[in-house]
Amino acid sequence: MSVHSVCVFCGARPGRNPAHAVVARATGAMLARNGWRLVYGAGDVGLMGEVARSAQAEGAATFGVIPVHLMRAEVGKRDLTRFVVTEDMHERKKVMFMNSDAVVVLPGGAGSLDEFFEVLTWAQIGLHRKPILLLDVEGYWQPLNALIDHIVAEGFADASVRSLYATVPDVPTLETALNDVLGQPPAPA
């Protein structure tokens, strides 16, 4: 049985709301509990670090990808199961996406938005069918959903764009959604 991998895009900062870090840690633990490998941006700061440390503490395999120019700023986390250094951001996103079966987006900034819109665009033009899930911590992604509705209303995207991703309110709902697409966790030994 092959191990499924979940790509998590999220902030290199913790954000102002402490709930974001709590959910990041819960996401890492949930991935481990299900036997899924974490694929992420290889940083040891912000929400990225929270997800990775939690996943590691619970025994998950971790696959981190970081561009050489962010090694210092994002404190490249070298104690991962697999640690890849890329030349640039484009290669980072490609390697992360190619090594995952699903994409989860936690709260984050411009980088997380860039990552989300890239995988959404790839889905829109038919390059993949991987599930994309926004973890909507305390309504964080509601303005993004409203923007996408506006884009559709203004005629710049078909309404079907909303079917290319799902917004989930919490980690238990995220876990159920991932189990629906990736399969149930292995039985305890």
Task: Identify the pLDDT of residue 189.
Answer: 45
Domain boundaries, the chain: 5-180
Task: Identify the pLDDT of residue 1.
Answer: 45
* Type of residue numbered 112: S
User: pLDDT truncated to tens, each residue of the chain (189 aa)?
Assistant: 468 999 999 999 999 999 999 999 999 999 999 999 999 999 889 999 999 999 999 999 999 999 898 877 776 778 888 888 899 899 999 999 999 999 999 999 999 999 999 999 999 999 999 999 999 999 999 999 999 999 999 999 999 999 999 999 999 999 999 999 997 655 554
Task: Identify the pLDDT of residue 2.
Answer: 64
Bridge partners, residue 133, by sequence: 104, 166
> DSSP string of 78-122?
TTSSEEEEESSHHHHHHHHHHT-SEEEE-S--HHHHHHHHHHHHH
Residue 186, judged by CB atoms within 10 A of its CB (0-12, 13-18, 19+), counts as: exposed
pTM to 2 decimals?
0.93
Bridge partners, residue 37, by sequence: 5
Q: Residue 125 corresponds to which tokens in the numbers above?
A: 């033009």
5-180 CATH: 3.40.50.450
Bridge partners, residue 8, by sequence: 104
